[in-house]
Chain A
Amino acid sequence: MPENVTFHFDVDGENFTSAGEASVMVKKKLRQLGLPPEVIRRVSIAMYEGEINMVIHADGGDADVTVTDDEVIIVLSDRGPGIPDVGLAMQEGYSTARDNIRSLGFGAGMGLPNMKKYTDSMEIETEIGVGTKITMTVKL
């Protein structure tokens, strides 16, 4: 690939119905770029989990995906409440999602662990009352 390809999406936090739209778009674009199916699958799942989290916890945010020669970089930034205890949030089954989110099929406390599982690296920068930025990479 001669140069990096980037995609930007505004993730709407107002309406849960649209949650996941950006990830569906990214999956289509990565297919068009001809990336290996397993890479596309890993990027899609990690980004989708992150996108759902942004809608549930932070009223949306920004999603940026960059495809380089050797990796896909996903950056999810929000201006939500921040994560008070990242170690706790990374535990499987720990969730602060409300019951109405569970009735929509999410909030099992698997989002962050799953994002880590499907990516080669994941970095969380978070500040209470300011927001959270998650950077994930998947190697090609």
Chain B
Amino acid sequence: MKIKEIRELLGAELLCGEEYLDNDVFSACCSDMMSDVLAYVKDQGVLLTGLVNPQVIRTAGMMDMVCIVFVRGKEPTEEMIELASDCGIVVMKSRYRAYEACGHLYTAGLVPAPEDK
């Protein structure tokens, strides 16, 4: 799935990373616990979260994720958007709640990656 399709499916507002919208992603995860993202995620390109702090961006960067969607209309700070730009990460925000947002993406074929063993 292309990142621009995620934006369309979630009616999301793009906050940075327009140049990467045609890039493909193959899986996604959703969590407010960055500890869990660090422990369980592998090869997931997209992070959906309702947590808003700079560690969301840094965690995604450490995990080589390429797109972050803030759900429930959560608004990242300018500093976070700058950090994401610097790391080459697409950031968008959607009005959907986490469960709904995941449902839309899953139904459209964006599935979780196998758990890292």
> Which residues on A are within 8 Å of B, measured CB to CB?
16-21, 23-24, 27, 37, 41, 44-45, 48-49, 52, 102, 104-111, 113-114
Binds A, one of B1-9, B16-24, B29-37, B66-74: B29-37
User: Which partner residue on chain B sits nearest A111 by CB separation?
Assistant: B35
Binds A, one of B57-65, B95-103, B105-113: B57-65
Question: Which residues does chain A contribute within 8 Å of B55, judged by CB atoms?
Answer: 16, 19-20, 52, 104-106
Q: How far is the CA of A18 from the CA of B54 in the complex (A)?
A: 8
Question: Which residues does chain A contribute within 8 Å of B54, judged by CB atoms?
Answer: 17-18, 20
Are B38's CB and A114's CB within 8 A?
Answer: yes
Are B62's CB and A48's CB within 8 A?
Answer: yes
Question: Which residues does chain A contribute within 8 Å of B59, judged by CB atoms?
Answer: 20, 48, 105
Select one of A16, A21, A105 contacting B56, CB under 8 A. A105
User: Which partner residue on chain A sits nearest B37 by CB separation?
Assistant: A105
Number of interface residues, chain B, beta carbon within 8 A: 19
Are B61's CB and A27's CB within 8 A?
Answer: yes
Question: Which residues does chain B contribute within 8 Å of A110, judged by CB atoms?
Answer: 35-36, 38-39
Are B53's CB and A104's CB within 8 A?
Answer: yes
Interface status of B51 (Cβ within 8 A of chain A):
yes
Question: Which residues does chain B contribute within 8 Å of A37, judged by CB atoms?
Answer: 64
Are B64's CB and A41's CB within 8 A?
Answer: yes
> Which residues on B are within 8 Å of A, measured CB to CB?
32-36, 38-39, 51, 53-56, 58-59, 61-64, 87
Q: How far is the CA of A37 from the CA of B62 in the complex (A)?
A: 11
**How far is the CB of A27 from the nearest CB of chain B, in Å?**
7
Can you give 27 A-B contacts (C-beta < 8 A)? Answer: A16-B53, A19-B58, A20-B62, A21-B58, A23-B58, A23-B62, A27-B61, A41-B63, A44-B62, A45-B38, A45-B62, A48-B58, A52-B55, A102-B33, A104-B55, A105-B35, A105-B53, A105-B55, A106-B33, A106-B34, A107-B35, A108-B35, A108-B39, A110-B36, A111-B35, A114-B38, A114-B39
Check A108/B33 contact, CB under 8 A, given A20-B55, A48-B38, A114-B38. yes
Question: Which residues does chain A contribute within 8 Å of B35, judged by CB atoms?
Answer: 105-111
The interface centre, meaning the residue of B33, B36, B87 with most chain A CB atoms within 10 A of its CB, is B33
**How far is the CB of A48 from the nearest CB of chain B, in Å?**
5
